[in-house]
């Protein structure tokens, strides 16, 4: 790497300064944020210019195989930086042509960050392959399951903003969010009913006996939290495992359901607070409670996921260890085989050079 640690530090300072201006909307123009972001990328690309580029052979995990196939068995790897620059230029140009100024939305940020990871991909040292592939797959998944569908959705229903309530006035909103929230409110003893003329409005009686109404806007749908979860989960599994098995698929399904349920709980809590403490308390809860519920859900789910998948497992001390194949206890004197992911097997349950049922790694005999 040219310039050493100082070049890396300066590049990152410019990079994150640009992101701060673009996302947090400081007093600077967003175009200044794009310029700072581009300068940071340029410094990092120059600093790593002397580094050995990534191998063209795929990494020995699901992520490597996916990226290898997506680039036509590595033949398109040299075009990754070009594609990244093209994506960034396309986003900026589209916004300037459409509105005459740079007005970036959430979808634009995702596309820009995907372009940035593609631009830098070939210049990241191989020892950071896991981090590099996770970042690339995360933004690629997010682009595929958020940007593309919501773009089509906006063409049908209008801009996805909280100001445009018609964007969420759809049967999807009613059956996935409005009705479940109304049902949970009834369990809490809140007298409520659906608006007959809208799919996204719940009417209720507050503590003073007056009729009130709440509408489910974009920020209430949980759209971004669910898609971010799915993208992060997919990227994590691709880095850690060699195949997508039934256990991983079940965890993904459970995670999506938990994300939906956490969002219904959040909306229910908001209305319950409004019933008992008034509209100001309702607005405060709406603006602040979501992050705590989201953090609690993330902590709970990823804790369960790490436990089920054996992430970070250490050989047990003082407790029984069960065979991952037959489920029976592995006794102290039993011959055994151990996988790198932490799972243990009876030697009799698996032949030599077999793949672990959980992660796909080759199971090697453990020392006695």
Please choose, from the candidates 100, 60, 117, 63, the residue with its C-alpha nearest in 3D space to the C-alpha of residue 237.
Answer: 63
In whole angstroms, give the CA distance from residue 275 to residue 267.
13
Tens place of pLDDT for every residue, the chain, 368 residues? Answer: 444 556 655 665 676 566 555 544 444 455 666 777 677 767 766 655 444 444 444 566 788 888 888 888 888 888 888 888 888 888 888 777 766 667 777 788 888 889 999 998 888 877 777 778 888 998 899 899 888 887 776 666 655 555 555 667 788 888 988 999 999 999 988 889 998 888 888 999 887 788 888 888 776 777 777 787 888 888 888 887 777 778 778 888 888 888 888 889 988 998 999 898 888 888 888 877 766 777 777 777 777 776 776 655 544 444 456 777 776 777 777 777 777 666 777 787 776 667 776 666 777 655 44
Neighbour tally for 140: CB within 10 Å: 20
The predicted structure's pLDDT at residue 272: 92
Same domain, 152 and 36: yes
Same domain, 191 and 283: yes
Calculate the alpha carbon distances from 349 to 114, 168, 278, 355 in Å: 44, 53, 63, 12
Last residue of a domain, one of 117, 136, 157: 157
208-229 pLDDT, tens digit per residue, is: 788 888 888 776 777 777 787 8
Same domain, 169 and 190: yes
Return the exposure string of 57-81: e unless at least 16 CB atoms fall within 10 Å of the residue's CB, then b.
ebbebbbbebbbeebeebeebeebb
Same domain, 276 and 367: no
Please provide the DSSP assignment of 211-275 as one string: EEEEE--GGGTTHHHHHHHHHHHHHHHHHH-SS--HHHHHHHHHHHHHHHHHHHHHHHHHHHHHH
Same domain, 176 and 279: yes
Q: Please list the alpha-helical segments (H only) found in 25-159.
A: 30-47, 62-70, 80-99, 106-120, 129-142, 148-157
In this prediction the pTM is: 0.64
| Structural domain total, the chain | 3
Same domain, 140 and 50: yes
Same domain, 178 and 268: yes
Give, as one character, the DSSP assignment of residue 146: I
Residue 46 lies in domain = 5-157
Instruction: Identify the H or E element spanning 297.
Output: helix 279-309
Same domain, 151 and 289: no
Do the beta carbons of residue 182 and residue 191 sit within 8 Å? no
Same domain, 110 and 237: no
Residue linked to tokens 């007093």: 27
Last residue of a domain, one of 122, 157, 192: 157
Same domain, 140 and 183: no
Last residue of a domain, one of 103, 124, 157: 157
The predicted structure's pLDDT at residue 51: 43
Same domain, 121 and 177: no
Same domain, 77 and 40: yes
């Amino acid at each position: 790497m040219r310039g050493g640690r100082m070049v890396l530090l300066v590049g990152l300072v410019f990079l994150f300064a640009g992101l701060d201006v673009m996302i947090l909307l400081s007093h600077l123009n967003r175009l200044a944020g794009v310029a700072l972001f581009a300068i940071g990328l340029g410094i990092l690309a120059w600093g790593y210019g002397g580094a050995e580029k990534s191998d063209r052979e795929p990494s020995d995990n699901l992520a490597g195989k996916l990226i290898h196939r997506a680039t036509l068995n590595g033949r398109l790897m040299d075009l990754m930086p070009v594609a990244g620059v093209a994506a960034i230029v396309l986003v900026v140009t589209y916004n300037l042509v459409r509105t005459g100024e740079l007005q970036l939305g959430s979808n634009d940020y995702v596309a820009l960050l995907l372009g940035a990871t593609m631009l830098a991909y070939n210049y990241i040292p191989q020892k950071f392959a896991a981090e590099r592939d996770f970042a690339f797959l995360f933004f690629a998944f997010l682009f595929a399951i958020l940007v593309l569908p919501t773009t089509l959705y906006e063409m049908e229903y209008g801009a996805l903003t909280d100001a445009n309530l018609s964007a969420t006035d759809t049967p999807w909103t009613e059956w996935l969010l409005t009705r479940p929230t109304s049902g949970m409110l009834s369990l809490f003893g809140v007298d409520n009913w659906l608006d007959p003329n809208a799919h996204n409005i719940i009417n209720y009686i507050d503590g003073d006996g007056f009729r009130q109404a709440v509408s489910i806007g974009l920020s209430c749908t949980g759209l971004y939290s669910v898609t971010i979860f799915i993208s992060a989960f997919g990227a994590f599994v691709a880095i850690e495992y060699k195949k997508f098995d039934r256990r991983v698929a079940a965890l993904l399904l459970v995670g999506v359901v938990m994300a939906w349920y956490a969002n219904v709980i959040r909306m229910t809590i908001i209305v319950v607070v409004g019933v008992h403490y008034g509209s100001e308390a309702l607005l405060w809860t709406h603006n602040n409670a979501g992050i705590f519920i989201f953090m609690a859900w993330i902590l709970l789910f990823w804790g369960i996921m790490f436990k089920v998948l054996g992430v970070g497992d250490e050989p047990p001390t003082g407790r029984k260890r069960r065979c991952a194949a037959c489920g029976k206890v592995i006794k102290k004197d039993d011959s055994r085989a151990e996988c790198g992911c932490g799972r243990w097997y009876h030697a009799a349950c698996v032949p030599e050079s077999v793949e672990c049922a959980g992660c796909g790694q080759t199971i090697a005999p453990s020392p006695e």
